[in-house]
């Protein structure tokens, strides 16, 4: 198990390095002057003199060779220096630190709901195949996979917010430490939107994994021993059917961050997704670079955790 973990860790670090290369060179592969790209309209409109451009070029280290720039940037990252935002004129680390907890708050809630409900629905659908609960669960999963999350948000705002007036206010974000009631009202709809896709995928995966597992010989043996259904499902079937679902959790986390970009736009929530979209329109490449990198880091780390727990759940993988 230890060698397995060490091997996975080395692999993870290797992948992280490739990710930094991708993010860094995505910006450098562009034709044209990186400074003009970095500074956006300011530089291209010609409002800056040649000396100003030169001093800025020196300040950002853009007069050095590309590999040097890469290692300088990497060194800065390791020391926690993510650069200064061009649009917000703020330290990017601080900018991310302010917005990250908001996305994390919504994301973690959505992630928990998606997995708990998804596993439960899939499990029930699997062991009660062909009954009404299977129909409900499968229909819900089909809707969840196909509905555009931003549109679901708009539908909910229209019905629950504007017509029925159940959930008001429905836009913005208030810290739960300032006003818990307000916060709860504001996050209900965004969390549902963020959870729905993951929930649907998990439920579907869980159902088919369950159908696969309950056909196995050892489950038949458990039945013939005269065990109760509850014991068979929880003690014998659940662990094995969870393996593919856990793989999906790593992807699910990515979906939460991907969805956050859309959901935060619909509900005007100042999270990291909204920040990235704003930065794209403001052509603030420093924020885009660091923001995507941080999210990619989190996802790779969680996939590492998934891999490790995978090896723990299924020893065949560890030795394979």
Partner 1 sequence: MVEKATTIQEFVEAPPRVSEWRRFGRVFFQRKLVVFGLVVLSILIISAIFAPWLAPYDPYRGDLSDSLVQPSGKYLLGTDIQGRDTLSRLIYGSRTALLVGFVTTITATILGIVLGLVAGYFGGITNMVIMRAMDALMGFPMLLLALLIAAVLGSGIQNVIIALSVATLPGYARVMHGLTLSVRENDYVLAERAMGSSNMRTMVGHILPNTLPPMIVLVTLQLGSIILAEAGLSFLGIGIRPPGAAWGSMVNDGYRFLVTNPVLSFAPGLAIMLVVFAFNMVGDGLRDALDPRLRGIL
Nearest of 40, 101, 106 to residue 288 by alpha carbon: 40
Going residue by residue from 197 to 216, which x/- string records binding to partner 1, judged by CB under 8 A? --------x--xx-xx----
Nearest-approach distance from CB 136 to partner 1, in angstroms: 16
Q: Does the footprint of partner 1 cover residue 22 (CB under 8 A)?
A: yes
**Pairwise CA distance, residues 175 & 116, whole Å:** 25
Nearer to partner 1, 186 or 197 (CB): 197
Nearer to partner 1, 87 or 176 (CB): 87
Site for partner 1 in 226-255 (CB under 8 A): 254-255
Going residue by residue from 77 to 116, which x/- string records binding to partner 1, judged by CB under 8 A? ----------------------------------------
Q: Does the footprint of partner 1 cover residue 276 (CB under 8 A)?
A: yes
Scanning 42-50, 61-69, 129-137, 154-162 for contacts with partner 1 by CB under 8 A, the matching segment is 154-162
Nearer to partner 1, 186 or 290 (CB): 290
Q: Does the footprint of partner 1 cover residue 42 (CB under 8 A)?
A: no
Q: Does the footprint of partner 1 cover residue 160 (CB under 8 A)?
A: no
Binding test (CB under 8 A) with partner 1, winner from 56, 154, 160, 219: 154
**Pairwise CA distance, residues 179 & 189, whole Å:** 17
- State how far Cα 274 lies from the chain centre: 14
Tell me, by CB under 8 A, how many residues bind partner 1: 52
**Pairwise CA distance, residues 125 & 160, whole Å:** 29
Binding test (CB under 8 A) with partner 1, winner from 71, 151, 218, 223: 151
Nearer to partner 1, 16 or 308 (CB): 16
**Pairwise CA distance, residues 23 & 178, whole Å:** 37
The CB density around residue 159, as the number of other CB atoms within 10 Å, is 12
Find the Cα–Cα–Cα–Cα dihedral 61, 18, 259, 209, rounded to 10°: -170
Q: Does the footprint of partner 1 cover residue 295 (CB under 8 A)?
A: yes
Nearest-approach distance from CB 312 to partner 1, in angstroms: 21
Nearest-approach distance from CB 183 to partner 1, in angstroms: 23
- State how far Cα 94 lies from the chain centre: 20
Nearer to partner 1, 37 or 227 (CB): 37
Nearer to partner 1, 18 or 97 (CB): 18
Q: Does the footprint of partner 1 cover residue 19 (CB under 8 A)?
A: yes
Scanning 43-51, 53-61, 145-153, 186-194 for contacts with partner 1 by CB under 8 A, the matching segment is 145-153
Q: Does the footprint of partner 1 cover residue 300 (CB under 8 A)?
A: yes
Residues of the shown chain interacting with partner 1 in the complex, contacts defined by CB under 8 A: 11, 14-16, 18-19, 22-23, 26-27, 29-30, 142, 145-151, 154-155, 157-158, 162, 205, 208-209, 211-212, 254-255, 257-259, 261-262, 265-266, 276-277, 280-281, 285, 288, 292, 295-297, 299-300, 303
């Amino acid at each position: 198990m230890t060698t397995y973990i060490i091997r996975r860790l080395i692999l993870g670090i290797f992948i992280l390095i490739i990710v930094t290369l991708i993010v860094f060179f995505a910006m450098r592969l562009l034709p044209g002057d990186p400074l003009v790209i970095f500074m956006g309209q300011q530089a291209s409109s010609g409002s800056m003199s040649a000396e100003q451009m030169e001093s800025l070029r020196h300040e950002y280290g853009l007069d050095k060779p590309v590999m040097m720039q890469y290692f300088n940037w990497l060194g800065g990252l390791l020391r926690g220096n993510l650069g200064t935002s061009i649009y917000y004129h703020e330290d990017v680390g601080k900018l991310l630190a302010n917005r990250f907890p908001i996305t994390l708050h919504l994301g973690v809630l959505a992630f928990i709901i998606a997995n708990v409900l998804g596993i439960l629905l899939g499990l029930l659908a699997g062991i009660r195949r062909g009954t009404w609960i299977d129909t409900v669960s499968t229909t819900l999963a089909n809707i969840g996979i196909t509905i555009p999350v931003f549109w679901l948000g708009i539908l909910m705002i229209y019905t629950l917010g504007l017509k029925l007036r159940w959930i008001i206010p429905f836009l913005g974000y208030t810290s739960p430490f300032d006003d818990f009631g307000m916060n709860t009202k504001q996050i209900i709809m965004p969390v549902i939107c963020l959870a729905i896709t993951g929930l649907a995928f998990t439920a579907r995966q869980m159902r088919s994994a369950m159908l696969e597992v309950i056909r196995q010989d050892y489950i038949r043996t458990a039945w013939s021993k005269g065990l109760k259904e509850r014991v068979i499902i929880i003690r014998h079937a659940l662990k094995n059917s969870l393996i593919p679902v856990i793989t999906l959790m790593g992807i699910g986390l990515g979906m939460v961050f991907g969805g956050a970009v859309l959901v935060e736009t619909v509900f005007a929530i100042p999270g990291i997704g909204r920040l990235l979209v704003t930065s794209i329109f403001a052509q603030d490449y420093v924020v885009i670079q660091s923001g995507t990198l941080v999210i990619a880091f989190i996802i790779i780390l969680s996939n590492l955790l998934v891999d490790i727990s995978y090896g723990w759940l299924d020893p065949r993988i560890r030795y394979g």
